Structures are given as C-alpha cells and as structure tokens.
Structure 1
Amino acid sequence: MKKLIPVLGTLLFIAIIAIIFISLAKKEQPVTIVKGNTAFKPLPIKLNATNDTQCKMLIKSERNAVEVIAPDGRTWFFDDPGCMTLWIQDKPWKDRAKIWVHTLDTKRWIDARKAWYGVKDATAMHYGFGAREHKCPDCIDFHEMQLRMLRGENLTNPKIRKKLLGV
C-alpha cells in the first residue's frame, strides 16, 4: 500500500495538469487580427474579446474604436485613435491603409482621415482625441491629431493636461 500512494499521487498530478492544458486549449483566444477583409469595410468588433494591437487592452466599447485595413486586407483593431497613431507610424503602407473610426457624435464608422478630433475627450487610453463626423469648436483634423499624438501633446502629458483641463 505504501508503494501505491506515490504512484497514485503522481497519476493525480498528471491528470490535473492534463485537464488544465485541455481547458486552456479550448478557451477562445482574443482576436488581434483578421485576414481577408478585401471589401475594406469596418468589421464587427467582438467587445471584450478583441485586443488593441498597440496597447494589448481588450476593446470594451466601439466608442472611438479604430480599425486599420492594410492593402492586402489584414485588419487590426484599436481602442483609441492614439494607439492607432503610435502603431501605424512606421508601416510602409500607412498612406494606402483604409482607416475607420467610430464617432462620438453620429456613432457611426467613418473614414478616420475625414473625422474631426476633440483634444480633451474621455478615450480608452486617456489620450483625449475623440472622433467626430462633424466639426466642432476646438476640433482638429486627422493630420493634426497624429502630429500632436506623436509629439506627446495629449492628455497623458501632465503639462498638456493642465493647459487643456486646468488639472
């Protein structure tokens, strides 16, 4: 009996490890990229099951979400226009990419290059660049939003935050 206990313990340990691996293998992994979007249209985002390509956070809302579609149809997802800007800056095809953003005002997907961006909005990563279909006071265009993001002139910068929000 004393020789059987270590063998049973080892078998039990192996069984537990096997169950863990099998359960992990069956668990659906978060979406990070979708291939074959040759229609170049925004795809439905599986909320709480799709990762932002830049910051790796789960996308919890379409509010200010962005989708970038490469010329070959690969689609990446972002929870904040700032994340998209940081990620796309070194892509050789960035000027040929189709970029969609979900707007605050009309709650629709529009061409991100035609959107207007607030500078002090609540966004997923707190950069402050909320997208709009219609121009608003203090809104900036896509090019200016990208420049400010790349220069660090967003709400994550304490000096900019104080200047824009007074806090």
Structure 2
Amino acid sequence: MLNYVVCLLWHSIDSKLIPLFRPFQTCYTVWEKARAVYTNDISQFYDVISRLTNLKKQEFDMSTYLGQVQTVMEEFDTLMPVTTDVEKQQEHRQTLFLVLTLAGLPPNNDSVRDQILASPTVLTIDELFSRLLRLAAPLSHKVVSSSIIDSSIIGSQTFEKRTYQST
C-alpha cells in the first residue's frame, strides 16, 4: 500500500520538479521537502493577486470569464484560507497589502519586485516600506543636495559681493 501511495505521489509531481524530490524515499519526506520549498510562497500569491486584479471579460464568453474568476478565487482561498485565529488573519492581511504594494510598483522597479518575491523570507509590510523608501532615497537625496549646493553657492557669492563692495 505504501509503495502505491509513493508511486501515486511521484506521478502527481511535475516532471520538471522530479529531480528536486528524487532523493526522498517516503511520502513524509517528499511532503516535508515540498512544504519547505513552497511554504510562504509569496511569488505564487503575487501571481494570483496579479491575475485577480487584471481579470477582464474581454472576448471570452461569460461562462469562461466566470470560470477564470472561480479559479482565481479558489487559488486565493488556498493561499489565504479563512481562519478564526486573529494573528493569522493579521499575517494574511499584511501579506495581501505587501503583494498589492508590489503589484502597484511601476515597471522600472521590476528587479526590486523580483528580488523581494524570490526571497526565502517574507518581509513585513514595514520592512517593505523601509526598503522601498531606501531605494527612492538616492533620487530625492540628489535633488536636496544639489539645491543645498546651489543655495550655498549663491550665499557665498552674495557674501563675496558684499565683502568686495564694502572694501
């Protein structure tokens, strides 16, 4: 019976992923490896949210469109199951807003988004905000520093003119 379950499990794994799971001999170890690899898969959740926010009926008939909506809803429910645990709900909300924040970034931030989504740990929303603000800071810092330099040059030129005129 156990061999049958392992065999069934092997046939359910995508052929591209088989090398990742080949060293494991039991269902338990395969499941543990899968859990370690796919737990907190923020990238998968990002894909679901992207599809959810980009759903349009377009040229599909209504039943196809509603089928797509149903599929995205089921994937969302799998990744964010309803729970009575308040802490878990807070975690889900933070993850949702983190992903929505990443989805709203312009295309010139694709590399930053990809780095965050590929990270083995999920950032908190505060950590995300901090990272995004640090990335934006060099641009605002250059503007501030150039205006400081400009105003200091103007101030020194004014001071030099006054000194020259008084002598």
TM-score, normalised with respect to structure 2: 0.25
Larger Rg: 2
TM-score, normalised with respect to structure 1: 0.25
The answer to which structure, 1 or 2, has the higher relative contact order (CA under 8 A, 6+ apart) is 2
